[in-house]
């Protein structure tokens, strides 16, 4: 018998039991679709986050606070982080010192806070973002009305704020907010600018933020003298490793940390390449985990196929006996039932790929509607992986029922008429 003959016999049997065949392959459809959706979503998330970082440029070094390791026992450090300990050693003077290093061309310091703002009889709890005046030289935000604050505003602790577009609309509606006052901590702050709408960025809605000079936030609102991060720009990418080492050595000296004991660092210095590597590791781990879960679903679907194929063997015992009586060999019977199992899983695999692509496209379209820069992507390897899974599943779970059919005694089989 030729492969075409095996295929024809399998199709004939499927038509005879069309509903059962479709229900049998449903588990494979869902499993394969899950693999496609997971991989596509992971690519979309990665592309979105990398795109947000790229908006700042590739020449970025981020300095942020971190809890130093507690000796060789990292459990102590993890417990300290769990209890919300705050590192207060990163200061504005650190930013000024970093700016004097070769290959560093610009920087701004940042600190987040939260407060209730009041205006025109309304009160609203908002996130307040204190930044240096150089913020707009690095960030992609654009002023829509008014102006941004200056270095003089920052140094003089001026009570001025720039509003995100959502905050401006929520509080002042269609009224021009420039020159209006916001009351924060019982102090009046003048609105000097409003940002253009920028949408969600790195899963943060900056349109809902109130921006003010970082020193004003420190002294007038939070009562602190530290910052949580410093974002810097470097000039020459070929000197990046040396630049990172220079920044680390400088901060260790300023924070009185032993240069030979980096475990005691209360800061971290990361480039965009470091962030990308961490992101790939995290997304890769989640993707593998979700694919394993989808694989378990595929296993369940395979067991269902084995069960149905075994039932099919029992139902067609007389047919098998008749075919063997007229000369069919064990190998021919085995191939016939294996072909049926493989065709079920192949149908499920193809249907799953189509469903996965459609759902993945729907997710990307919804993300774009919500303002995320989400790229639709279905890697070729995900389709190859899914197809391979489905074929292997058919071979593995169809083998036992096929062998049961091939080893039937023709005389005993014919007695089942």
3-state secondary structure of 162: strand
Q: What is the DSSP string of 179-221?
A: T-EEEETTEEEEEEEEEPP--EETTEEGGGEEEEEHHHIIIII
Domain membership of residue 61 (yes or no) is no
Residue 82 scores a pLDDT above 60: no
Q: Kindly state the average pLDDT of the residues 371-389.
A: 79
Share of the chain above pLDDT 70, in %: 79
Backbone angles phi, psi at 287, to 5 degrees: -65, -45
Q: Are 222 and 251 found together in one domain?
A: no
Choose the most confident range, by mean pLDDT, from 28-37, 246-255, 341-350: 246-255
Residue 239: half-sphere exposure toward Cβ, Cα within 13 Å: 11
Q: Kindly state the average pLDDT of the residues 188-204.
A: 83
Element (H, E) at 145: strand 143-146
74 vs 63: which has the higher pLDDT: 63
| Band (75; pLDDT cuts 50, 70, 90) | very low
State both tokens at 266.
Answer: 């209360």
Note the pLDDT of residue 143.
94
Residues 185, 144 contacting (CB under 8 angstroms)? no
Residues in CB range of 347: below 8 A, 6 or more apart: 21, 25
> 414: burial class by Cβ within 10 Å (0-12, 13-18, 19+)?
middle
Q: Are 224 and 240 found together in one domain?
A: no
Residues in CB range of 173: below 8 A, 6 or more apart: none
Q: Are 250 and 228 found together in one domain?
A: no
Residue 413 scores a pLDDT above 60: no
Q: Which of 406, 408, 246, 256 is nearest to 336 (CA)?
A: 406
**The residue to which tokens 């420190």 are assigned:** 218
- For residue range 14-47, list pLDDT tens digits in order: 667 677 777 777 877 888 888 888 888 888 887 7
- C-alpha distance from residue 149 to each of 51, 162, 305 (Å): 27, 8, 68
Q: Are 184 and 109 found together in one domain?
A: yes
Backbone angles phi, psi at 16, to 5 degrees: -70, -30
Q: What is the pTM of this model?
A: 0.66
- 119-123, 268-272, 325-329: which has the minimum mean pLDDT? 325-329
- CA-to-CA distance for 401 and 410, rounded, in angstroms? 16
Note the pLDDT of residue 174.
85
Domain membership of residue 261 (yes or no) is yes
| Band (151; pLDDT cuts 50, 70, 90) | very high
Domain membership of residue 394 (yes or no) is yes
Residues in CB range of 29: below 8 A, 6 or more apart: 348, 351, 352, 355
Using alpha carbons only, how large is the chain's radius of gyration in Å? 32
Q: What is the DSSP string of 270-334?
A: EEHHHHHHHHHHHHHHHHHHHHHHHHHHHHHHHHHHHHHHHHHHHHTHHHHHHHHHTT--HHHHH
Domain membership of residue 131 (yes or no) is yes
Share of the chain above pLDDT 90, in %: 33
Q: Are 154 and 40 found together in one domain?
A: no
- CA-to-CA distance for 109 and 92, rounded, in angstroms? 7
Q: Kindly state the average pLDDT of the residues 384-412.
A: 71
Strand pairing report for 104-119 and 60-65: unpaired
Domain membership of residue 388 (yes or no) is yes
Note the pLDDT of residue 237.
85
Note the pLDDT of residue 78.
40
Q: How many domains does the chain have?
A: 3
| Band (134; pLDDT cuts 50, 70, 90) | very high
Note the pLDDT of residue 184.
92
Note the pLDDT of residue 73.
40
Residues 233, 132 contacting (CB under 8 angstroms)? no
Q: Which of 348, 314, 305, 335 is nearest to 403 (CA)?
A: 335
Q: Are 85 and 49 found together in one domain?
A: no
Residue 11: half-sphere exposure toward Cβ, Cα within 13 Å: 6
What average pLDDT does the structure give for the chain?
Answer: 81
| Band (415; pLDDT cuts 50, 70, 90) | low
Note the pLDDT of residue 244.
93
Domain that holds residue 244: 67-101+236-265
Q: Are 187 and 252 found together in one domain?
A: no
| Band (70; pLDDT cuts 50, 70, 90) | low
Domain membership of residue 304 (yes or no) is yes
- For residue range 275-316, list pLDDT tens digits in order: 777 777 887 887 788 777 777 777 777 777 777 776 666 666
Q: Are 298 and 404 found together in one domain?
A: yes
Q: Are 205 and 146 found together in one domain?
A: yes
Q: Are 153 and 255 found together in one domain?
A: no
For residues 359-374, one letter each, b for 16 or more C-beta atoms within 10 angstroms of the residue's C-beta and e for the rest, the string is bbeebbeebeeeebbb
Q: Are 285 and 357 found together in one domain?
A: yes
Domain membership of residue 272 (yes or no) is no
Q: Are 311 and 283 found together in one domain?
A: yes
Residue 4 scores a pLDDT above 80: no
- For residue range 207-246, list pLDDT tens digits in order: 899 999 999 999 999 999 999 999 999 999 889 999 999 9
Residue 100 scores a pLDDT above 60: yes
Q: Which of 380, 362, 360, 381 is nearest to 370 (CA)?
A: 362
- C-alpha distance from residue 347 to each of 7, 256, 307, 389 (Å): 13, 66, 18, 12
Residue 387 scores a pLDDT above 70: yes
State both tokens at 145.
Answer: 């009305």
Residue 178 scores a pLDDT above 90: yes
Element (H, E) at 268: strand 267-271
Domain membership of residue 392 (yes or no) is yes
367 vs 192: which has the higher pLDDT: 192
């Amino acid at each position: 018998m030729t492969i075409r003959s095996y295929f024809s016999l399998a199709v004939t049997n499927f038509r005879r039991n069309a509903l059962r065949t479709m229900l049998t392959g449903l588990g494979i459809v869902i499993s394969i679709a899950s693999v496609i959706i997971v991989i596509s979503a992971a690519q979309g998330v990665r592309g979105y986050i990398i795109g947000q970082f790229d908006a700042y440029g590739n020449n970025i070094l981020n300095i942020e606070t971190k809890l130093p390791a507690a000796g060789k026992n990292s459990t102590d450090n993890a417990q300290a982080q769990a209890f919300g300990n705050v590192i207060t050693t990163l200061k504005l003077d650190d930013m000024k010192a970093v700016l004097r290093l070769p290959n560093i061309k610009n920087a701004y310091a940042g600190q987040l806070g939260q407060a209730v703002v009041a205006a025109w009889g309304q009160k609203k709890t908002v996130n307040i973002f204190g930044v240096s005046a150089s913020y707009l030289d690095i960030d992609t935000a654009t002023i829509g009305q008014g102006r941004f604050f200056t270095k003089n505003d920052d140094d003089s602790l001026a009570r001025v704020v720039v509003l995100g577009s959502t905050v401006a609309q929520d509080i002042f509606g269609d009224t021009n907010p420039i020159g209006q006052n916001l009351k924060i901590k019982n102090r009046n702050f003048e609105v000097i600018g409003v940002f253009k709408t920028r949408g969600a960025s790195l899963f943060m809605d900056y349109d809902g933020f109130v921006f003010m000079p970082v020193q004003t936030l420190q002294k007038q609102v939070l009562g602190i003298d530290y910052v949580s991060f410093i974002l810097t720009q470097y000039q020459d990418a070929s000197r990046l490793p040396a630049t990172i080492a220079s920044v680390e050595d400088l901060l260790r000296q300023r924070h009185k940390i032993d240069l030979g004991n980096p475990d005691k660092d209360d800061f971290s210095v990361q480039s965009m390449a470091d962030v990308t590597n961490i992101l790939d590791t995290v997304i890769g781990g989640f993707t593998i985990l979700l694919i394993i879960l989808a694989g378990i679903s595929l296993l369940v679907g395979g067991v269902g196929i084995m069960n149905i194929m075994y039932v099919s063997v029992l139902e067609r015992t007389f047919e098998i006996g008749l075919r063997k009586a007229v000369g069919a060999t064990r190998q021919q019977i085995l191939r016939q039932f294996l072909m049926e199992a493989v065709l079920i899983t192949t149908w499920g695999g193809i249907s799953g790929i189509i469903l996965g692509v459609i759902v993945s496209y729907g997710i990307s379209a919804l993300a774009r509607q919500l303002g995320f820069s989400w790229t639709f992507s279905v890697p070729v390897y995900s389709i190859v992986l899914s197809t391979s899974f489905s074929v292997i599943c058919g071979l593995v779970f169809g083998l036992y029922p096929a062998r049961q059919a091939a080893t039937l005694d023709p005389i005993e089989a014919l007695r089942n008429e």
